[in-house]
């Protein structure tokens, strides 16, 4: 269990409304701490060192949900290194249970593995690449950089020329589709790793991101700017259905290309797509309709777009989502681990948006070179 201040003490901070709390610059950090402690107390599995799926399913969650928790702890460790860094380090090691080193191109399996698995998802691995590289910004831990590089090699092995390119969803071509959720985060991972590589390797990663973005826009972007879910390779049919996380990662990939190349059309397109994101808002609450496991990525994209443009409408959209989701959580905490982790991640990022140290971290992280 987490040590330090008790949950009971933290709860005393949250007796006023969500709107009133938002006026306090320290409120988001306190909320983030409260939710993170709740997750650890409620879902942590000491036997595996990972987190259980839900209140009723006590097995360790799938790796992509663990990846959301990883992103939460990465942000938490920036806020309070003494308290959260040891927990994060143990957790990264616990995720080795999902890593399969016994295959030609190693990668993370969806569940704990003994090796020689063939059930890997390219998007699962991409999420972990992004979080490991975000932590490397602060930790400079060589093992994290190496693991992110290896996992990205697996992700990029999912690219082939069927449909003219694109990354499959699953290594055995389950469902026979190439998905936005595997291509968007792959492009983001390429661009983030390129910051820590030199010369030809960095240039190759940026060019790969450019190819991925171009393919995804050509095959899965609707005329309104938002992105559909997947394309069936055998027929070319686009499976309609727009989710926040698909559009969010493409916004971040476009912003990353702009930062890496200085080519303004990427920024212009990112802003167009981000503006179209109003389509996802619920008219009653002003927050995203999607479940937190998807919508938290769009909040990250809002904050990313705000940093790139200074346009406060994206910051305010992120703030509205954070406040609405936290209000729901206070009324009744989410029953599944990943929804709680998604909320805590949002809250840590909102806290960083209100502190100079947090803004400085993201200024460095957004730079084309470290």
Convert the pLDDT of each residue in 281-340 to its tens digit.
999 999 999 999 999 999 999 999 999 999 999 999 999 999 999 999 999 999 999 999
How does pLDDT run across 181-205, given as a tens digit for each residue? 999 999 999 999 999 999 999 999 9
**Which residue in 273, 305, 248, 307 sits closest to 130, CA to CA?**
248
Considering the domain boundaries, does residue 2 fall inside one? no
Cα torsion through 356, 69, 365, 315, rounded to 10: -50
In this structure, what DSSP letter does residue 354 have? T
Residue 1 falls inside a structural domain: no
Range 268-291 burial, b when 16+ CB lie within 10 A, else e: ebbbebbebbeebbeeeeebbebb
Is 338 inside any structural domain?
A: yes
Q: What is the mean pLDDT of residues 349-363?
A: 97
Region 75-99: what's the mean pLDDT?
A: 98
Helix axes 63-79, 337-353, angle to 10 degrees: 30
Domain count, the chain: 1
Asked if residue 18 has pLDDT above 70, the reply is no
51: tokens are 């987190």
Supply the pLDDT for residue 24: 55
Quick one: pLDDT band at residue 254, thresholds 50, 70, 90? very high
Whether residue 356 has pLDDT greater than 90: yes
100 assigned to some structural domain: yes
Answer whether residue 245 is part of any domain: yes
pLDDT of residue 4: 36
Give a yes or no: residue 288 inside a domain. yes
Q: How confident is the model at residue 12 (pLDDT cuts 50, 70, 90)?
A: very low
Above 80 in pLDDT, residue 30? yes
- Average pLDDT of the chain, as a whole number: 94
CA dist 223 to 226, 272, 276, Å? 7, 11, 10
Question: Residue 26's pLDDT is what?
Answer: 84
Q: What is the mean predicted confidence (pLDDT) over 133-147?
A: 97
Mean pLDDT, rounded, for 203-218 = 98
pLDDT of 8 over the 60 cut = no
pLDDT at 270 over 80: yes
Tell me: pLDDT of 1 over 80: no
Q: Does residue 68 belong to any structural domain of this protein? A: yes
User: Are 159 and 167 spatial neighbours (Cβ–Cβ below 8 Å)?
Assistant: yes
Confidence class for position 5, pLDDT limits 50, 70, 90: very low
Residue 144: inside a domain: yes
Strands (E), the chain: 44-45, 50-51, 99-100, 107-108, 177-179, 230-232, 238-239
CATH of the domain at 344: 1.50.10.20
Tell me the CA distances in angstroms from 107 to 112, 122, 146, 286, one per residue in order: 12, 9, 12, 39
Asked whether the predicted pLDDT for residue 155 surpasses 50, the reply is: yes
pLDDT at 65 over 80: yes
Determine the average pLDDT of the residues in 44-71. Answer: 98
Is the pLDDT score of 247 beyond 70?
yes
16 falls in which pLDDT band (50, 70, 90)?
Answer: very low
Can you state the angle between helices 312-331 and 292-309, rounded to 10 degrees? 150
List C-alpha distances in Å: 353 to 47, 347, 348. 36, 10, 9
pLDDT confidence bin for 2, thresholds 50/70/90? very low
- Residue 329, domain extent: 7-366
Torsion sign (Cα): 57, 109, 182, 201? positive
The token pair that represents 313 in the structure block: 């409408």
């Amino acid at each position: 269990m987490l040590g330090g201040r008790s949950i009971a003490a933290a709860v005393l901070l949250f007796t006023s409304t969500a709107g009133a709390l938002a006026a306090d610059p320290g409120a988001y950090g306190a909320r983030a701490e409260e939710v993170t402690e709740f997750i650890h107390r409620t879902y942590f599995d000491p036997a595996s060192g990972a987190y259980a799926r839900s209140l009723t399913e006590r097995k360790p969650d799938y790796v992509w949900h663990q990846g959301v928790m990883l992103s939460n702890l990465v942000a938490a460790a920036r806020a309070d290194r003494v308290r959260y860094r040891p927990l994060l380090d143990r957790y990264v090691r616990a995720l080795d249970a999902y890593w399969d080193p016994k295959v030609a191109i190693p990668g993370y399996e969806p569940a704990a593995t003994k090796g020689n698995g063939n059930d890997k998802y390219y998007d699962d691995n991409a999420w972990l690449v992004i979080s490991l590289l975000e932590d490397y910004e602060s930790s400079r831990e060589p093992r994290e950089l190496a693991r992110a590089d290896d996992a990205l090699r697996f992700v990029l092995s999912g690219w082939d020329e069927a449909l003219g390119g694109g990354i499959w969803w699953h290594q055995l071509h389950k469902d026979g589709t190439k998905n936005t959720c595997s291509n968007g985060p792959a492009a983001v991972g390429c661009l983030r790793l390129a910051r820590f590589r030199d010369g030809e390797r960095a240039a190759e990663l940026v060019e790969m991101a450019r190819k991925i973005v171009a393919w995804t826009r050509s095959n899965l972007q609707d005329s309104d700017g938002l992105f559909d879910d997947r394309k069936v390779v055998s027929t070319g049919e686009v499976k309609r259905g727009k989710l926040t996380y698909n559009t969010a990662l493409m916004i971040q990939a476009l912003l990353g290309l702009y930062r890496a190349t200085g080519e303004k059309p990427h920024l212009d397109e990112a802003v167009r797509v981000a503006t179209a994101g109003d389509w996802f808002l619920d008219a009653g609450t002003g927050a995203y309709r999607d479940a937190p496991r998807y919508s938290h990525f769009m909040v990250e994209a809002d904050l990313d777009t705000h940093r790139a443009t200074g346009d406060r409408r994206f910051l305010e959209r992120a703030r509205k989502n954070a406040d609405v989701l936290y209000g729901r959580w206070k009324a009744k905490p989410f029953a599944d681990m990943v929804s709680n982790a998604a909320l805590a991640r949002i809250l840590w990022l909102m806290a960083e948006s209100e502190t100079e140290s947090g803004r400085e971290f993201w200024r460095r992280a957004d730079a084309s070179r470290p």
